[in-house]
Amino acid sequence: MHEHKSFFIGGEWVAPAGTGVIDVVSPHTEEVIGRVPDGSEADIDAAVAAARRAFDEGPWPRMTPAERAEIVGRLSAIYAANVEPMAQLVTAEMGSPALFSMFAQAAIPQMVLQYYVDLAATYTWEDERQGMQGPVSVVREPVGVVAAIVPWNVPQFTLMLKLAPALIAGCTIVAKPSPETPLDTYLLAEWIKEAGIPDGVVNIVPAGREVGAHLVAHPDVDKVSFTGSTGAGRSIAAVCGQQLKRVTLELGGKSAAIILEDADLASTIEGFKLASLMNNGQACAAQTRILAPRSRYDEVADALAAMVGGLAVGDPADFGTEVGPLVAQRQQERVEGYIRIGQDEGAKVLVGGLDRPQDRGWYVAPTVFGGVTNDMRIAREEIFGPVLALLAYDDEEEAIRIANDSDYGLGGSVWTADEEHGVAVARRIRTGSCGVNLYSIDPATPFGGYKSSGLGRELGPEGLDAYLELKSIPRPAPKV
Indicate the SS3 state at residue 408: strand
Q: Give 85's strand partners.
A: none
Judged by CB under 6 A, which stretch of 72-80, 88-96, 228-236, 333-341 contacts ligand NAD?
Answer: 228-236
CB of 435 to ligand NAD, least distance (A): 15
Q: How far is the CB of 2 from ligand NAD (least distance, A)?
A: 19
Q: How far is the CB of 382 from ligand NAD (least distance, A)?
A: 5
Give me the least distance between CB of 250 and ligand NAD, in Å please: 3
Alpha-carbon dihedral sign for residues 426, 322, 300, 374:
negative
Q: Is 208 in the site for ligand NAD (CB under 6 A)?
A: yes
Catalytic residue among 93, 180, 250, 336: 250
Cβ neighbors of 25 (< 8 A, separation 6 or more) are: 31, 32, 33, 328
User: By CB under 6 A, what part of segment 129-188 binds ligand NAD?
Assistant: 149-154, 158, 176, 178
| Residues in the chain, overall count | 480
Clarify whether 382 is annotated catalytic: no
Please say which residue, 297 or 450, places its beta carbon nearer to ligand NAD.
450
CB closer to ligand NAD, 43 vs 315 = 43
Applying CB under 6 A, among 228, 314, 352, 422 the residue interacting with ligand NAD is 228
Shortest CA distance to 386 belongs to which of 294, 316, 298, 299? 316
Stretch 396-415: interaction string toward ligand NAD, x if CB under 6 A: --------------x-----
* 47 touching ligand NAD, by CB under 6 A: no
Contacts of 75 (CB under 8 A, 6+ apart): 113, 191, 192, 195, 197
What is the longest distance spanned by two Cα atoms in the chain? 85
242, β-bridge pairs: none
> Are the C-beta atoms of residues 275 and 415 closer than 8 Å to each other?
no
Site size toward ligand NAD, by CB under 6 A:
30
- Helix (H) / strand (E) element for 289: namely strand 287-293
Site for ligand NAD in 241-260 (CB under 6 A): 250-253
Burial class of residue 473 in the structure, from the number of CB atoms within 10 Å of its CB (0-12 exposed, 13-18 middle, 19+ buried): exposed
Per CB under 6 A, 454 contacts ligand NAD: yes
Nearer to ligand NAD, 64 or 235 (CB): 235
Q: According to the binding rule CB under 6 A, does residue 229 interact with ligand NAD?
A: yes
- 164 vs 392 by CB, closer to ligand NAD: 164
Question: Using the rule CB under 6 A, which residue among 10, 58, 212, 366 binds ligand NAD?
Answer: 212
* DSSP assignment of 239-262: HHHHHT-EEEEE----EEEEE-TT
By the rule CB under 6 A, 37 interacts with ligand NAD: no
The whole-angstrom separation of Cα 46 and Cα 388 is 44
Which residue in 6, 23, 4, 22 sits closest to 14, CA to CA? 6
Q: Looking at this protein, which amino acid is placed at residue 94?
A: M
Q: Which sequence positions are flagged as catalytic?
A: 250
Please report, as ranges, the residues that interact with ligand NAD according to CB under 6 A: 149-154, 158, 176, 178, 208-209, 212-213, 216, 227-229, 232, 235-236, 250-253, 284, 382, 384, 410, 449, 454
